[in-house]
Amino acid sequence: MTAYDYWSIVQGALATIVYSLASIVLGVPLGLGLALIRWARTPVLNRVVMLYVSLIRSCPAVTLTLLLFFALPQFGISLEPPVAAILALTISTSAFNCEIWRASLNSFPKDQYDAALSFAMPRGLRLRRIVLPQLWRSSLPGLVNEMTLQVKSTPAVAVIGIVEITRAALRVGARTYEPLPPFLFALLLYGMIVFVFIKAQRMLERRAAGGGRV
């Protein structure tokens, strides 16, 4: 492996990071929105979200990516590979994030909510001031866990030609006829990315614990 080969895999790592971050940034709030719909028991939407989560949770990211990239043009919507990739990753992570947010919402102490109600706080304010600040703290471990899973599911978008770590390593291996070294280097890069997420979670948790003292 030459220095250029290493560099091409590192470039793949940049793509992996960009795609993971984009889908996380879009998918985490989307998951919260979905969870709030279920939590508020919105009449019809509640059922729709339930169906969406059940369906997406059992749908492999590869299949979803293929569906979006190849089938949407049939309806006159053709997406560039990066857009289709981010969309697929966002759809899949939002379903998992919805379940994580919902678990925290369900275990949110009801007395606090009632206390805010007795102070005549309007619904939106109750959500913003009372529920959300505590909610993200209790959801954080689950969300970060899902983020690391998300990093590991990014190779799915390689099927529509996006060059991320795994595909970059595969290319190098195909050229040098020595597949093992690039794959091991790829393994190292994934390990580093996942490690950064876990470190960031510990840091955020410590800060949240420090700031959350009453």
Instruction: Name the site residues for other proteins (rule: CB under 8 A).
Output: 54-55, 57-64, 66-67, 70-71, 73-75, 148, 151-156, 158-159, 165-166, 169-170, 173, 179-180, 183, 186-187, 190-191, 194-195
Say if residues 169 and 186 touch (Cβ distance below 8 Å).
Answer: yes
CA nearest to 151, candidates 185, 115, 195: 195
CA nearest to 103, candidates 64, 61, 146, 60: 146
Nearer to other proteins, 149 or 203 (CB): 149
Nearer to other proteins, 67 or 121 (CB): 67
Compute how many other C-beta atoms are within 10 angstroms of the C-beta atom of residue 162: 21
Closest CB 25 distance from other proteins, rounded Å = 20
Nearer to other proteins, 42 or 54 (CB): 54
Nearer to other proteins, 40 or 198 (CB): 198
Closest CB 89 distance from other proteins, rounded Å = 13
Closest CB 210 distance from other proteins, rounded Å = 27
Residue 179 to residues 156, 157, 165: CA-CA distances in angstroms? 19, 21, 13
Closest CB 82 distance from other proteins, rounded Å = 19
Tokens at 40, concatenated: 């508020």
In the chain, the N- to C-terminal Cα span, in Å, equals 56
